[in-house]
A and B are shown apart, each in its own frame.
Chain A
Amino acid sequence: MTEPIVTTPLRERATNALGDRLLHEALDIATTRFITLRREAFDDFPEGEQLRDRARAIKEATLQRLDTYLEMLVANVERLGGHVHFAATAEEARDIVLGIARRTGARMAVKSKSMATEEIHLNDALQAIGVTPVETDLGEYIIQLAHERPSHIIAPAIHKTKGQVAELFSRELGRPGLPADPEVLTKIAREELREKFLQADLGITGANFAVADTGTVVLVTNEGNGRMATSLPRVHVAVMGVEKVIPSMTDLAVFLAILAKSATGQKLSVYTTLVQGPRRPGELEGPDEFHLVLLDNGRIAQIGGTLRESLYCLRCGACLNVCPVYRQIGGHAYGYTYPGPIGILLTAMINGPGSVKDLAHASSLCGACAEACPVRIDIPRMLIELRREMDARRIAPWTERVVFKTFARILRSPWLYRVGARIGRIAQRPFVRDGGIRALPFFFGHWTRTRDLPPMSARTFQERWRDL
Chain B
Amino acid sequence: MTSKAEFLARIRTEMAKTPGLFTAAPAERPAQPRQRLDILRRELSERWPQMLERFRSEFERVAGVFHRAPTVAEVPAALERICRERAVRRVVTWPAEELGVAIAPALGAAGIAVESMPHASVPDTERDRLRGTIAAADLGVTGADLAVAETGTLVLVSAAGRPRSTSLLPPCHVAIFDRAALVESLEQVGLALEAWHDGPAPPERGAVINFITGPSRTADIELTLTRGVHGPKEIHAIFVDGGLARHD
A250 close to chain B: CB less than 8 A: yes
The answer to whether residues A33 and B210 also contact, given A66-B15, A86-B2, A248-B26 and a CB cut-off of 8 A, is no
At the interface, yes or no: B120 with Cβ under 8 Å from chain A?
A: yes
A to B CB contacts below 8 Å, 15 in the list: A30-B223, A85-B1, A136-B230, A158-B223, A160-B221, A182-B222, A224-B231, A242-B11, A247-B27, A270-B214, A270-B217, A280-B160, A282-B204, A283-B206, A284-B118
Which of B74-82, B105-113, B127-135, B239-247 forms contacts with chain A? B127-135
Does A467 touch B at the CB level, under 8 Å? no
Distance of A213 Cα from B217 Cα, bound (Å): 31
Question: In the complex, which residue of chain B has the Cβ closest to the Cβ of A69?
Answer: B26
Interchain CB contact (< 8 A) of A304 among B2, B14, B231? B14
A contact residues around B122 at 8 Å (CB): 284
A279 interface contact, C-beta 8 A: yes
B45 at the interface (CB under 8 A from A): no
Given A253-B186, A282-B159: A182 and B216 interface contact (C-beta under 8 Å): no
A298-344 interface with B by 8 A CB criterion: 300-305, 308
**Chain B: residues with CB nearer than 8 A to chain A?**
1-4, 6-8, 10-12, 14-18, 21-22, 24-30, 58, 62, 117-122, 127, 130-131, 135, 150-153, 158-161, 163-165, 168, 186-187, 189-191, 193-194, 197, 203-224, 226, 228-231
From B22, B219, B220, A142 is in contact (CB under 8 Å) with B220
CB distance from A266 to the nearest CB of B (A): 7
Q: Are B223 and A268 in contact (CB under 8 A)?
A: no
Q: Which of A92, A139, A252 contacts B220 (CB 8 A)?
A: A139
Which residues of B sit under 8 angstroms from A54, Cβ to Cβ? 27
- Pick the contact of A273: B2, B120, B210 (CB < 8 A): B210
Number of A-B contacts (CB under 8 A): 277
User: How long is the Cα–Cα vector from A232 to B161 in the complex, in angstroms?
Assistant: 17
B residues in contact with A242, CB < 8 Å: 11
| CA distance in complex: A302, B15 (Å) | 10
Q: How far is the CB of B144 from chain A (nearest CB, A)?
A: 14
Bound together, the chains give a CA A332 to CA B29 distance in angstroms of: 42
Is A285 positioned at the interface, with any CB of B under 8 Å from its CB?
A: yes
Partner of A67 from B12, B62, B120, B217 at Cβ < 8 Å: B12
| Contact (Cβ within 8 A) A304 B18 | yes
> Which B residues touch A137, using CB under 8 A?
220
A225→B217 CA distance, assembly (Å): 11
Within 8 A of B (CB), among A160-193: 160-162, 165, 182-183, 185-187, 189-190, 193
Residue pair B221, A185 in contact (C-beta under 8 Å): yes
> Within 8 Å CB of A136, what residues of B?
230
Bound CA span A305–B217, Å:
40
Contacts of A294 in B (CB 8 A): 7
A129 contacts the other chain (CB 8 A): no
- Contact call A231/B165, Cβ cutoff below 8 A: yes
With a cutoff of 8 Å between Cβ atoms, the chain A residues found around residue B30 in the complex are: 250
Judge whether A390 is part of the interface by a CB distance below 8 angstroms: no
Interface of chain B, main secondary structure: loop
A86 to chain B, nearest CB (A): 4
CB-based closest 9 A-B pairs: A253-B190, A282-B160, A304-B17, A224-B231, A139-B220, A249-B193, A272-B211, A303-B14, A60-B24
CB-defined contacts of B160 to chain A, threshold 8 Å: 280-284
Given contacts A186-B229, A223-B230, A308-B18, A286 and B207 within 8 Å (CB-CB): yes
Known contacts A84-B4, A86-B4, A278-B207: A268-B213 contact under CB 8 Å: yes
In the complex, chain A residues whose CB is within 8 Å of the CB of B17: 303-304
CB distance from A390 to the nearest CB of B (A): 21
Asked if residues B130 and A257 are in contact (CB atoms below 8 Å), the reply is: no
Cβ contact within 8 Å between B186 and A86: no
Q: How far is the CA of A427 from the CA of B27 in the complex (A)?
A: 63
Chain B nearest CB from A227 CB (Å) reads: 5
A186 pairs with B226, CB closer than 8 A: yes
Q: Kindly state whether residue A62 has any CB partner on chain B within 8 Å.
A: yes
* Chain B CB within 8 A of A355 CB: no
Residue on A with the closest CB to B58?
A267
**A198 with B7: in contact, given A223-B216, A277-B207, A303-B15 (CB under 8 Å)?**
no
Q: Is the CB of B26 within 8 A of A162?
A: no
A20 within 8 A of B: no
* Max chain B C-beta neighbours (<10 A), residue from A70, A86, A294: A86
Instruction: Say if the beta carbon of A460 comes within 8 Å of chain B.
Output: no
User: Which of A230, A256, A277, A285 has the largest count of B CB atoms less than 10 A from its CB?
Assistant: A285
Set B150, B151, B222: member contacting A162, Cβ < 8 A: B222
| Residues B205 and A280 in contact, CB atoms below 8 Å apart | yes
Q: List chain A residues, Cβ under 8 A from B168.
A: 224, 227-228, 231
A349 within 8 A of B: no
Instruction: Say whether, besides A248-B27, A266-B213, A270-B214, A275 and B208 are in contact (CB < 8 Å).
Output: yes
Instruction: Check if B221 sits within 8 Å of A157, measured CB to CB.
Output: yes
Query: For residue A161, which residue of chain B has the nearest CB?
Result: B222
B10 surroundings in chain A (CB, below 8 A):
88, 296, 300
Establish whether residues B193 and A252, one from each chain, have CB atoms under 8 Å apart when the complex forms: yes
Within 8 Å by CB of B186, from A70, A257, A271, A304, lies: A257
Q: Which residue in B21, B165, B203 is a CB contact (below 8 Å) of A60?
A: B21
Given contacts A92-B2, A223-B230, A272-B211, contact A67 B223 (CB under 8 A): no
Output the least CB separation between B167 and chain A (Å): 9
Residues of A contacting B211 in the complex (Cβ-Cβ under 8 angstroms)? 256, 268, 271-274
Please provide the chain A residues from 41 to 68 with a CB less than 8 Å away from any CB of chain B in the complex.
54, 57-58, 60-62, 64, 66-67
Cβ proximity bits A255-273 to B, threshold 8 Å, 1 near / 0 not: 0110000001011111111
A222 contacts B by Cβ under 8 Å: yes
Nearest CB of chain B from residue A340's CB, rounded to whole Å = 18
Query: What 17 new A-B contacts, CB under 8 Å, besides A54-B27, A271-B216, A284-B160?
Result: A61-B25, A64-B15, A86-B7, A88-B7, A157-B220, A186-B218, A249-B194, A267-B58, A270-B213, A273-B209, A273-B210, A281-B121, A283-B160, A284-B117, A284-B131, A284-B163, A296-B10
